[in-house]
Amino acid sequence: MYYDPLIDVHHRLPVRAALTTSFYVAPQQSDEARRLFEAACRSARLDGDLDLPLIAGRGVPSSLVLAREWGMTDLAERLAAAIEASYEPTWDHDRGEFTWGMGLNEAYPRGQFNAFLATAEAGGPGRWTALSAAPLERCPQVVDVDFPRVALRQAEWVGSTLRLNLAPLHPQPRQRTTFRVVGAAPGSWQIAGPEGATVSSTERGLIVDTLLVEGEIELAPSAVA
């Protein structure tokens, strides 16, 4: 698990601890990571019926990431069902947040465990490896979103068009919200979305002003709108 070359200490843990170690090794040495992961699954008895409720920790969430990364469909389905039954997936509608309580009865959801679970939700075949293989390409970013008053279900560039999906915590058709898009090409832009939505190009980026309602917004340079 851990080796310190300065003081020559090797921290030994059971094979099942590699459920998490494999997550970090996977983007660097995929074949070796998978061998390690499969051994850890056998040690942790994830290759058969799962004992419920699952114990809180990093091992099961990181295992779901890797099962989806490597297309291990049967394992991924069994882990997802066990997580659903054991880890208290919860919408906090007052805050507009989705978290897993993990059965820990803590005032705040455990960050590291939730991070692995959120990664698994966004994961899929090859995604963890692709994300780690090279620096992400720079692209325009949506900033200054008035969270938790409003969130974005989608923020995706499709060619030169930015597709957004607004999700207000409490829709209020008589109120407005604004946010910026930085790094977009300067010049004239057009907007399609809720009635009265506007976009203006400034030195601070594109400024979008729209009603505080659910809905899709598309931004495109005028020449290709």
Phi, psi at residue 65, to the nearest 5°?
-55, -50
Give the relative orientation of helices 30-43 and 18-25 as an angle to the nearest 10 degrees.
170
Task: Give the β-pairing of 89-92 and 150-158.
Answer: unpaired
For the chain, domains (ranges, CATH) are 2-133 (no CATH), 141-221 (2.60.40)
pLDDT band, residue 131 (cuts 50/70/90)? confident
* pTM of the predicted model as reported, rounded to 2 decimal places: 0.74
Give the tens place of pLDDT for each residue, 24-48.
999 989 999 999 999 999 999 998 8
DSSP string, 144-203: ---TTTEEEEEEEEETTEEEEEEEESS-EEEEEEEEEEESPPSS-EEEESSTT-EEEEET
Peptide bond just before 27 cis, omega within 30 deg: no
Give the tens place of pLDDT for each residue, 46-103.
988 999 999 999 999 999 999 999 999 999 999 999 999 999 999 888 877 899 999 9
Q: For residue 225, is pLDDT > 50? A: no
| Sheet containing strand 198-202, strands side by side | 141-143, 172-182, 205-212, 198-202
- State the Cα–Cα distance between residues 41 and 69, nearest whole angstrom: 15
Helix (H, G, I), strand (E, B) or coil at 107: coil
% the chain with pLDDT above 90:
76
**Amino acid at position 70, single letter:** W
Task: Give the β-pairing of 172-182 and 161-168.
Answer: unpaired
How is residue 15 annotated by DSSP?
Answer: G
5, β-bridge pairs: none
